[in-house]
Structure 1
Amino acid sequence: MAQQFEDRFHRKFYYLRLSVTDVCNFKCTYCLPHGYRPTNKPSTFLSLPEIERVIAAFSDCGTDKIRITGGEPSMRRDLPEIIHAAANRVSEVAMTTNGYRMARDVATWREAGLTRINVSVDSLDPRQFAQITGENRFAQVMAGIDQAFAVGFEQIKVNSVLLKDLNSQDLPKFLAWIKDRPIQLRFIELMQTGEMDSLFTKHHQSGVSIRNQLMAQGWQLKARKANDGPAQVFTHPDYLGEIGLIMPYEKGFCASCNRLRISALGKLHLCLFGDQGIDLRDYLQADNQKPELIEQIQQALQSKAQGHYLHLGDSGATPHLASIGG
């Protein structure tokens, strides 16, 4: 095994978020309110052999968790092959999806080697779900969650972007939903990006208010594993489900950073809210380029900042979350 990926602040990177497309078929208000507007041809996205080379390099350097992201990753026809390639190299293969095709395809994904799945559900009210996502697909997504359990997933993570005056007051409804279901419901603070300043001002709400409510009701913070994402996870003896809070504006959020990102165009992003990314595509054209690829990543890590600058209103070069997989 090559040297573990590590930056100058001695953070080790066990977790890769791998975007396979920036295409999405939803029009979420906080991400793509006007729908997907193509800036890249599908043929320019990483090919399966290029993806396999990315995965091999990261697994050789200590990565043991890969999350497949988009856009919406199920828009790629070769998604099962991508999942299989990751499962051959790492112990945990996760995916984030809008759930649009989950009822139909989740069994195939599981057979290919998917071990964990995250589904975006921003409201449990069908009308509000349609208002936020731009798609009247609530029943379809719920059927997908049921099917995921049916094919053997023991826990499903559900992502809900916390939006003031839209779903921020719905904690009791969400808690009732997970009381007897093994769902980890994750409230994600709305994050400012280049294309949604006014929406951020109108709908941003700190997750601290949710955390205070949970702790007042007896929820307890769960210990974090080395390859876990950034969520603070809470459990309660009376609930089968869990609550996760992702609060990027909280002090010290970046201290436990353990993940790197590769975009669908083959760029290494050291931070979701960093610069334009470092192009690795030239090092993905042949299997024998792996030493040079690893060297490029290790060098880039030495310039990784200690933290983001969201608290200063600086979201870097990220125009919207779909552009590099959230």
Structure 2
Amino acid sequence: MELIDQHDRIATDLRVSLTDRCNLRCQYCMPAEGLEWMPTDQTLTDDELVRLISIGVEHLGITDVRFTGGEPLLRKGLPGLISATKAMTLRDGSGSPRTAMTSNGLGLKRTAKALAEAGLDRVNISLDTTDAEVFARITRRDRWQDVVDGLAAAQDAGLGPVKVNAVLLREHNETEGPALLRWCMERDYELRFIEQMPLDAQHGWSRAQMITADETLGLISEEFTLTPLEGRGSAPAEKFLVDDGPHTVGIIGSVTRPFCGDCNRVRLTADGQILNCLFARDESDLRAPLRDGASDLEIAERWAAAMMTKLPGHGINDPSFLQSSRPMSAIGG
């Protein structure tokens, strides 16, 4: 059994949301206040998460597990979840799954070493600016230095390559692409620019306001020579060699340059729902059968059936597109 859809795409990359809570309030993700959190009794326990991950890895062919949020560092059992995942054996017996984490980096200064020792392989950290004041305006929190310290700690702990995810926003950091790229190259981080997506809790996304992948490429090309790299595969980022190397930069054009045809990802939310696309409105519940005593095989079959309903594309550019009722913080990146 495998997680194949009707368009012959096979999901091998599992994104696991550990919580919908976050300690930043980024304008493209959350409102300043008033967002209700998921009730605790609806959130999967550590044991439930481990069991579902193991079904994915050992029965359905998952090879990569990425822990996300909200902010995954707010999950107290994170080291244990990573350790348990690393103890799993891939279905083909070739080893353990690769593990990664997408985080805002605030708690990494004190946790990076422990997470690496638990088996975490690498991290992606969100940082949209090299300016602490701009950071405070975008995130509504004065925590820029904490993110910078977290990035350094991740690198020191061997969680590399350390990747930085950046979103450019009009009237905030729209001209900062070259400066951010230079800052990352000086520290040997791999920068990836991500188009702002319609996943904000307040539903304030506007196509007209979004800075496109082409705009970003044009901006950084004014100061750097970018050479496209081949072999993208199912990776979300188009990669470019910067000034003949060795550094690269990635562009994730989820809206204007979609890569749905090569997608190999599936998402498990913190409350046990399967989403076969980041923008999916339909969900498949694994929590109820899990708590009702279903066997691993029964859960695997339900999961596989959910993947068969995956649409050929996310549909953002279709006039009938409707934004997901879940914000990004409740889905996982």
The normalised TM-score by structure 1 is 0.91
Separation in 2, partners of 1:30, 1:204: 10
Counterpart pick for 1:300 among 300, 306, 329: 306
Q: What residue ranges of structure 1 are gaps of 5+ in the alignment? A: none
Counterpart pick for 2:184 among 148, 158, 178: 178
Q: Structure 1 residue 33 and structure 2 residue 31: aligned?
A: yes
- Note the alpha carbon deviations across 1:295-325, whole angstroms, 9 max, x for none: 0111111111101121136244234210111
Q: Structure 1 residue 100 and structure 2 residue 106: aligned?
A: yes
Structure 1 vs Structure 2 CA RMSD: 2.2
* Alignment of structure 1 residues 1-326 onto 2, 5 Å: 3-35=1-33, 37-60=35-58, 61-89=60-88, 90-193=96-199, 195-201=201-207, 203-213=209-219, 217-224=224-231, 229-236=235-242, 238-285=244-291, 289-312=295-318, 314-326=321-333
Distance 1:33 1:194, change over 3 A: closer
Q: 1:50, CA displacement in angstroms? A: 0.9
Separation in 1, partners of 2:83, 2:293: 18
Q: 1:240, CA displacement in angstroms? A: 4.4
Distance 1:259 1:30, change over 3 A: same
Q: 1:242, CA displacement in angstroms? A: 2.3
SS of residue paired to 2:83: helix
1:324 alignment partner AA: I
SS of residue paired to 2:206: helix
Aligned sequence identity (%):
31
Separation in 2, partners of 1:276, 1:201: 23
Separation in 2, partners of 1:288, 1:199: 40
- Note the alpha carbon deviations across 1:193-252, whole angstroms, 9 max, x for none: 3644445356311111223455674322334465x5411122235554321111112355
Q: 1:287, CA displacement in angstroms? A: 8.7
SS of residue paired to 1:71: coil
The normalised TM-score by structure 2 is 0.89
- Note the alpha carbon deviations across 1:148-177, whole angstroms, 9 max, x for none: 111223311111112123222112201211
Aligned length: 323
Separation in 2, partners of 1:276, 1:206: 27
Distance 1:191 1:252, change over 3 A: closer
Q: Tell me, yes or no, if the aligned pair for 1:194 and 1:318 is still in contact at 8 Å.
A: no
Separation in 1, partners of 2:107, 2:265: 27
1:137 alignment partner AA: R
Separation in 1, partners of 2:214, 2:176: 15
Separation in 2, partners of 1:325, 1:205: 22
Q: Tell me, yes or no, if the aligned pair for 1:80 and 1:109 is still in contact at 8 Å.
A: yes
Distance 1:237 1:28, change over 3 A: same
SS of residue paired to 1:179: helix
SS of residue paired to 1:244: strand
1:18 alignment partner AA: V
Q: 1:286, CA displacement in angstroms? A: 8.4
